[in-house]
Structure 1
Amino acid sequence: MSNDYYKFIHFINRKTGIDLSLYKEAQMKRRLTSLYEKKGFTSFMEFFESLSKNEALLEEFLDRMTINVSEFYRNEKRWEVLQHKILPVLLKENKKLKVWSAACSTGEEPYSLAMVLSQLVRSSQVSILATDIDQNAIDKAKIGLYGERALAEIPPVVRREFFTDQGVFYKVSDEIKRLVDFRQQNLLNDLFDKQFDLIVCRNVMIYFTEEAKDKLYRKFSESLRHGGILFVGSTEHIFNPSKYELESVDTFFYRKLSSSS
């Protein structure tokens, strides 16, 4: 079984550029075994043979491989810290912030950022890059339709201002959608832009190996300007931030140290 799996991840890397060896093996193997068994396959290699010939199955595989669980204002108290403590300091330093939502899933996180920022500055001062490995997730994000559950933690005043009721769904306002630029990106392989004021990457690192996490924290640090902030998820404390030229400024918020620090 293991040898079968390792051959599978090697072939997938060659076909798609996605390195599954950087994801925690037990979790990924469980997820993919469940998928191929459901489709009637008996091994990883039999599954790969079919993936090579069936574009729709490959799309489904890529969608299953990525983890698209998200909601607006996830862990609401952290968003309050972002709005009232972190962003005012950043806005004193730059009137227009360079912001990136990394592994943005179906758009709840970057749209939350856009809503928070639009309450602090004019929309002309807001521009957010949002990236994810899963093109299907990005396509859903661009549509901007969400069920009730995704909106559970949104403050009522924000919900009223930025959403319209569409029956069983809620639609993000065009004003907010215009502030976010969605692009496909592989965090582990692709180059990052530089000089971000704020990078948000939450509840993604838990799926990666320690080696992959280390690589990503280094890349994020290099992409922040001095004084810029990295905002991580509630299970993703960085236990030795100085290793990445970062310092903790609040729970789950880390500032890039200046060279003189």
Structure 2
Amino acid sequence: MTAPLLANLIERATGLAIDRGGVSTMLDRFVADRMRSLGHTSIESYVALAGSSGPEQQALIDAITVPHTWFYRDPEQLRTIEHLMAAAPPGPLAIWVAGCATGEEAYTLAMIARRIERQVSVVATDVNETVLKAAQRGVYSALAVRDVPEDDRRWLAQRDGKFVVDFTLRSGVSFARHNLVDPPPPAPRGAWDLIVCRNVLIYFAPTPASRLLARFARAVREGGWLVVGASEVVFEPPPGLELVSSDSRLVLHRPPRHLATVLPRPKLRGMPPTVPPLIDPAIGPAIAPTIAPATAAGIPREPVRMSAGDTAARTPVKPVNPDDLVSALGRGHGLFEQGEILAAIEAYDQLARAHPSIAEVWLFLGIAHYAHGNAEAAASALRASLCLDATMWPAGFYLARAYERLGRRADALQQYDLIAVAELPPLTLQSSSAVINELRALRHDVRNAARRLTAERTARARRLLK
């Protein structure tokens, strides 16, 4: 277990919380190896060495920062960013990609800007010097570029089994070392038009995360935007930024001063419009009938609507104890299975604020929103769960169902396709829930139903082509 001295050093130096995203495991392994090679016999002596801002501290930072990313990660959020770029005032846009890792996101934004014919200057920063060198080289594996749209592949040249970013595109992107606990890098015209910091805050301790958001708020221009990851909208907006909805995704906006009091707040609750089912009644449901009703597991057939009396009578939600994750999850499950869906949503929401990097929490928050009929909120939470843990296949299943309710047939089909081709692994969760137990027992039926859906769609397409 990581010593408190070392944990405090990491948080002071980088803002990172070692209990997020497997950081502690990487840290323990690295420090044990370094202490042996350097001849240190106590953690105190090693912390004293790494505490000075020198090569050892940089090696420590490089070892624990998470470089996992790829081109066109979260395409829905990228569509929102594309819209923000296109709607910005004329002229060059200054974009800061904070926490850029190996550079895929910075190059993705440059591709989008080229496609919509916007002139941009992208400055991408990271505290990890090793990943910055990889970003500057611009050479990537087939896995990293797997989601690049066909039209944008012209910016990638294939050489010796790798993909190299075109020099013209690279010339509009610059990389620099920057620690997010420090003041922001200077913008070309004094302030940034767009700051993108996705899937970084989830690794920060709460206090450094709040301070970082405040620095972002001061660094973005009036009328500019801050985009954080899908799972990171749980953080409270700092003074000067408004949380607003753009293309059904939540982003942070710094309104011009004369509009600061009149910009609408996002609608986070409410019932979605009725949409036609994805599957024709003659063909049958998209999933096995034994799962869809699932009233015994707490999933209502219709969206839950509570009267004023119901609201007054429902079980009050106590503040979540962040140190008791399993107990808090169990309490949310109990409310959910008793049909107190709004109370369960409130409990899961509090838990998500306390544990924003736990995929399981976002999974159950998404399921509860889905049961309540709020498909948009469900989709947002379920995307966060999948972003944190791509193997969380129940989140993919419910995300497909949420997309159906929203009328987003193509997105729903894509999710079903992913389930159809996957070997759904057994779930390893920290808590037990009736709805998940049912899905766990029927996971092969879930996959087979998704395969039937995919086959039926293919057959329909062939009939149309005849």
Asked if TM exceeds 0.5, the reply is yes
Pairing partner for 1:257 from 255, 258, 268: 255
Residue 129 (structure 1) shift: 0.9
Give the length in aligned residue pairs: 247
Structure 1 range deviating more: 32-41 or 172-181: 32-41
Indicate the residue corresponding to 1:150 in structure 2. 144
Contact 2:213 2:238 in 1 (8 A): no
Residue 248 (structure 1) shift: 1.3
Point out where structure 2 has 5 or more consecutive residues left out of the alignment.
261-466
Q: Distance in 2 between matches of 1:109 and 1:44?
A: 37
Indicate the residue corresponding to 1:195 in structure 2. 191
Contact 2:241 2:252 in 1 (8 A): no
TM-score (norm 1): 0.83
Point out where structure 1 has 5 or more consecutive residues left out of the alignment.
none
Residue 66 (structure 1) shift: 1.3
Letter in structure 2 aligned against 1:81: T
Indicate the residue corresponding to 2:433 in structure 1. none
Q: CA RMSD in A?
A: 2.7
Indicate the residue corresponding to 1:88 in structure 2. 86
Q: Distance in 2 between matches of 1:38 and 1:134?
A: 19
Q: How does 1:60-209 map to 2 (within 5 A)?
A: 60-83=59-82, 85-90=83-88, 93-121=89-117, 125-159=119-153, 161-193=154-186, 194-209=190-205
Letter in structure 1 aligned against 2:94: K
Contact 2:210 2:235 in 1 (8 A): no
Relative distance call for 1:197 and 1:191 in structure 2 (3 A) is closer
Q: Distance in 2 between matches of 1:67 and 1:211?
A: 20
Letter in structure 1 aligned against 2:4: Y
Residue 46 (structure 1) shift: 5.5
TM-score (norm 2): 0.48
Relative distance call for 1:95 and 1:61 in structure 2 (3 A) is same
Indicate the residue corresponding to 2:435 in structure 1. none
Structure with the greater alpha carbon radius of gyration: 2
Contact 2:210 2:238 in 1 (8 A): no
Q: How does 1:239-258 map to 2 (within 5 A)?
A: 240-241=236-237, 243-250=239-246, 251-258=249-256
Q: Distance in 1 between matches of 2:235 and 2:60?
A: 34
Pairing partner for 2:29 from 34, 39, 42: 34
Relative distance call for 1:56 and 1:208 in structure 2 (3 A) is closer
Residue 247 (structure 1) shift: 2.9
Residue 244 (structure 1) shift: 4.3
Q: Percent identity?
A: 25
Bigger relative contact order, structure 1 or 2 (CA pairs below 8 A, ≥6 apart)? 1
Q: Distance in 2 between matches of 1:51 and 1:192?
A: 25
Contact 2:225 2:254 in 1 (8 A): yes
Q: Distance in 1 between matches of 2:160 and 2:204?
A: 38
Relative distance call for 1:66 and 1:21 in structure 2 (3 A) is closer
